[in-house]
Structure 1
Amino acid sequence: MLLSALIFGLLGSFHCIGMCGPIAFMLPVDRSNRTKAFFQILSYHFGRIFTYALIGLLFGLLGKGFYLFGFQQQISIIVGVFMIVLILFPKLSNKIPISKKISHIILKVKSSLGKELKKKGNDTFFTLGFLNGFLPCGLVYMALFGAITTSSSLYGSIYMMLFGLGTIPLMTIFVYLGNFTKNGFRKKIQKVIPIMVVFIGVLFIVRGLGLGIPYISPEPVLQNALTTVSGCH
């Protein structure tokens, strides 16, 4: 399932251009020095991926809690259904309540981003990427659902790192060249993203059903353990 994170990132980067593109294009990159510009952009991406890894670690830990209580399969199914429902009924996401505390944190992040964009220090780009990782993004939320199903803080972190790595190629090209994609091509990709999310949602559901399909839908650990015990008599 880790592969789904990379797919999320690769296809989702077209969505990222629309949401985070303005920030990426405004990066105070030293365009007179290509080598320096490359490492500045790389530092920005590392900042984003570091944030994703931290958040993935927390959500993976949450998934581990569900796993320890025997809810791993159910959570995988719930996550898959939730992903599909949000794609089929996108207006439902607007009805999800956001606490005032979270809204206040988001405003602080945006304010800090604005201040950092005016700086050109060695740590500026990493900080910008780190802060950018906390901005609200529907695609990141989808990836976090996947991190929960890993049932491990380590794999949850790796899942989100792979998601971040998938966004790097297109986002890097965008920083260098600006809005290089034609509207028609971008619209076609935007249409593919929901299909991809639904497909991965179905994979999560199939995985949760425990159909005994290797790598795709393995049998529940408890069921395997009971089978092993029965075979010992």
Structure 2
Amino acid sequence: MILAFFIGVISSVHCVGMCGPLMFALPAMNVSWAKQVGIHLLYQLGRILTYGLLGFVLGLLGAGTLIRGWQQYMSLVTGIILLLFALYYFLQRYGKGSFSYGGTFWQPLFNKMGYWIQRPGGHFVVGLLNGLLPCGMVYLALAAALNTGSPVNGFIFMAFFGLGTVPLLLIALVCGHYFRKRIRLNFIGLIPFLFLIMGVWFILRGANLDIAYLSPLLYPKSGTTLCH
């Protein structure tokens, strides 16, 4: 789960720029500092729970491939998909076109978040809905969760990913907009490289080359027990 937390920590740089404005918009005026922290922790809890549930579903799908002996193929397919994502990001970044997250498609979700953000105790619901927003780094984590082999592992993996994003977001909250402007790097330029690295790793993992850590045997000659 160290990998999940590490991906989350890296993603938090992106989150400060993309999700930070929403977090700062949570109504917490005229309340104590402790209550403000409580409000934002509820928001983070909702977001992490959604990530965990998504990981549970994908882990369940991955468990089916494990039972059928398709784990090697699943790893290869995941790697290819990540490489295609990397290619897409590279083309969008260095070619013609621009990123589009389908604003019209996601508008109902934004409307729901706007509704709950004004309701007492609605911060948890806003966090749940926020976990459904499109994000390249979340997709990267979900691809890894798909290959965890069980719904429980998928849930835990995505929960650790969510936890990894929390520290920097809370620091940004405490330090305010000044910190957010300083930390907001051109992170989107790094995303295709992360997809590229993870894509190659999943392909090597599925290649069954008997290379320790990098491409371990998924199906040893002595049996069908998986090498984790």
Measure, in 2, the Cα distance between the counterparts of 1:190 and 1:161.
23
> Relative to structure 1, is the Cα distance of residues 75 and 22 closer, same or farther in structure 2, using a 3 angstrom cutoff?
same
Match of 1:107 in 2: 107
TM-score by length of 1: 0.81
TM-fit CA distance, 1:84:
2.2
Equivalent residue letter for 2:122: T
- Superposed, 1:35-54 pairs within 5 Å as 35-54=34-53
Match of 2:116 in 1: 116
Equivalent residue letter for 2:124: F
Match of 1:77 in 2: 76
TM-fit CA distance, 1:183:
6.1
> Relative to structure 1, is the Cα distance of residues 115 and 157 closer, same or farther in structure 2, using a 3 angstrom cutoff?
same
2:153 is equivalent to residue 150 of structure 1: no
2:161 is equivalent to residue 171 of structure 1: no
Equivalent residue letter for 1:178: H
Equivalent residue letter for 1:12: S
**Count of equivalent residues:** 215
Measure, in 2, the Cα distance between the counterparts of 1:14 and 1:222.
40
- Superposed, 1:1-233 pairs within 5 Å as 2-30=1-29, 32-90=31-89, 103=105, 106-119=106-119, 121=120, 123-176=121-174, 177-182=176-181, 186-187=185-186, 189-221=187-219, 223-225=221-223
> Relative to structure 1, is the Cα distance of residues 179 and 83 closer, same or farther in structure 2, using a 3 angstrom cutoff?
farther
The question of whether the paired residues in 1 share the 8 Å contact of 2:55 and 2:151 is answered with yes
The question of whether the paired residues in 1 share the 8 Å contact of 2:17 and 2:184 is answered with no
Q: Tell me the percent identity.
A: 36
Note the residue ranges of structure 2 that are not aligned, 5 or more in a row: none
> Relative to structure 1, is the Cα distance of residues 89 and 207 closer, same or farther in structure 2, using a 3 angstrom cutoff?
same
> Relative to structure 1, is the Cα distance of residues 136 and 89 closer, same or farther in structure 2, using a 3 angstrom cutoff?
closer
Equivalent residue letter for 1:45: Q
TM-score by length of 2: 0.82
**Structure 1 counterpart SS, 2:21:** helix
> Relative to structure 1, is the Cα distance of residues 45 and 69 closer, same or farther in structure 2, using a 3 angstrom cutoff?
same
TM-fit CA distance, 1:175:
2.6
Equivalent residue letter for 2:132: F
Which structure carries more helix by proportion? 1
Supply the RMSD in Å over aligned alpha carbons: 2.7
Measure, in 1, the Cα distance between the counterparts of 2:145 and 2:224.
28
Q: Which moved more, 1:147-156 or 1:218-227?
A: 218-227
Measure, in 2, the Cα distance between the counterparts of 1:222 and 1:5.
26
Measure, in 2, the Cα distance between the counterparts of 1:184 and 1:35.
25
TM-fit CA distance, 1:145:
0.9
**Structure 1 counterpart SS, 2:185:** helix
